[in-house]
Amino acid sequence: NITIQKIAAGEVIERPLSIVKELIENSLDANSENITIEIKNGGKSYIRVTDDGDGIEDEDLNLAFKRHSTSKLSTIEDLYRIRSLGFRGEALASISHVSKVEVMTKTSNAIGGIHAIVEEGEIKSKEVIGCPKGTTLIVKDLFYNLPVRKEFLKSDLVESNQISDIVYKVALGNLNTSFKFIRDDKVVLKTSKNNDMKTHIYSILGKEFSSNLTQINFEEYGIHLHGYISNNNLYRSNRNHQYIYINGRYINNINISNTIENHYKSLIPLNRFPCFILFIELDPSTIDVNIHPTKQEIKFANQSEIFSVIDKAVKDTLYPSLS
Ligand code: ADP
Ligand code: MG
């Protein structure tokens, strides 16, 4: 039933940003080293993500656009050991129900690549083409079939800015992948892979953020925290420069932010929202990332343990003499 599929799709695909995020996550899951993201008109008319990853086998291509089909989970227990970013098997299906999708893909052992047009979860046409290893997804005319949803999109500028934000966040969290971001025919971000963390931060967030960083490196109960806290006494009116990654996945977590902010209150009273980049590596079976379709929220099996480790790590970093 097409109507039901469209409504269900809307839960994952709210706006162009959701598409970009899902496509980049797929590219990362496919072991890509280079990812190019291109958008036009805030992603409303055009989104392209090109990677040099594993590619999709011909016989898997039909399935890739079917709901709840994923190559990333084989048993339900796998759901609790998730390391890969995607796992719900919904993104490509949902995207193909709300926009016009084109895919070009080639695996390393295939002789030729495949170019396919997809509509409403079905492959409409497929031909063999010459192309390099990897996958390109082109998504055009978002919500062409859902005019009311289209009405609710913000201006091109606002949608573009939201996409930029997520591209920067993902690029920041992935040191081993190079990213290129093209916004309305202009290259606005280009990162190189395998830099050290500080160079990487500098290349993405610029001089202001990177000039006064203190390194965090702390491990307890099998939870490893690393990253940087900025000591810049810059007043920030929001949390836009707080970057938290769990097992490589960018997340929002107000409790983690608060834990770090509390230490700053006494140090720099004006700086309500300190800037930081925090990587948390832990046993994936202790977190549940499946609570929300967009996967930006996370549940911890042991809340108190994780917050106590973060608290200690920040204390240890800010006041090393006390520990
Ligand atoms: P999920 O990522 O949750 O598995 P998706 O709908 O995002 O679901 O993708 C469906 C499947 O299509 C993936 O499991 C993967 O096998 C394949 N796929 C999607 N994008 C890519 C890509 N860029 N490179 C290789 N395979 C991909
Ligand atoms: Mg996915």
pLDDT of res. 239? 86
What's the rounded mean pLDDT across residues 101-116?
A: 97
Q: What percent of the chain has pLDDT over 70?
A: 83
User: Measured between alpha carbons, how far is 312 from 323 in angstroms, rounded to an integer?
Assistant: 9
User: Is the model's pLDDT at 220 over the cut of 90?
Assistant: yes
Residues with CB under 5 Å of ion ligand 2 are 26, 86, 91
Sign of CA dihedral 196, 200, 203, 206: negative
ipTM over 0.90: yes
Answer whether 198's CB lies under 8 Å from 172's CB.
no
Range list for CATH 3.30.230.10 in the chain: 203-322
C-alpha 25 to ligand 2 mean position (Å) = 6
pLDDT digits (tens, 9 = 90+) for 237-291: 788 889 999 888 888 888 899 998 888 777 766 667 888 999 999 988 887 665 5
User: Measured between alpha carbons, how far is 193 from 204 in angstroms, rounded to an integer?
Assistant: 12
More confident residue, 191 or 211: 191
User: For the whole model, what pTM was predicted?
Assistant: 0.88
pLDDT of res. 209? 81
pLDDT of res. 70? 60
Q: Whole-number mean pLDDT of the chain?
A: 86
pLDDT of res. 317? 84
Range list for CATH 3.30.565.10 in the chain: 2-190
Which has the minimum average pLDDT: 42-51, 111-120, 123-132, 210-219?
A: 210-219
Question: Of all atoms in ligand 1, which is nearest to the CA of residue 22?
Answer: 7
What's the rounded mean pLDDT across residues 29-36?
A: 96
CATH 1.10.10.10 fits 203-322, yes or no: no
Question: Of all atoms in ligand 1, which is nearest to the CA of residue 49?
Answer: 23
pLDDT of res. 139? 98
User: Is the model's pLDDT at 32 over the cut of 80?
Assistant: yes
pLDDT of res. 71? 61
What is the architecture, at CATH level 2, of domain 2-190?
A: 2-Layer Sandwich (3.30)
What's the rounded mean pLDDT across residues 114-129?
A: 94
Take atom 20 of ligand 1 and give the residue whose Cα is closest. 26
What's the rounded mean pLDDT across residues 174-201?
A: 95
Q: Any idea how long the chain is?
A: 323
In this structure, which ligand is nearest to the CA of 289? 1
C-alpha 208 to ligand 1 mean position (Å) = 37
pLDDT of res. 5? 52
Q: Residue 153 corresponds to which tokens in the numbers above? A: 């999109």
C-alpha 26 to ligand 2 mean position (Å) = 5
Pairing state between β 242-246 and 276-281? parallel
User: Is the model's pLDDT at 3 over the cut of 70?
Assistant: no
Q: Residue 67 corresponds to which tokens in the numbers above? A: 């709901």
Q: What percent of the chain has pLDDT over 90?
A: 57
pLDDT of res. 85? 54
What's the rounded mean pLDDT across residues 2-19?
A: 67
Take atom 21 of ligand 1 and give the residue whose Cα is closest. 26
Sign of CA dihedral 307, 228, 210, 51: negative
Q: What angle do CA 297, 191, 71 make, to 5 degrees?
A: 50
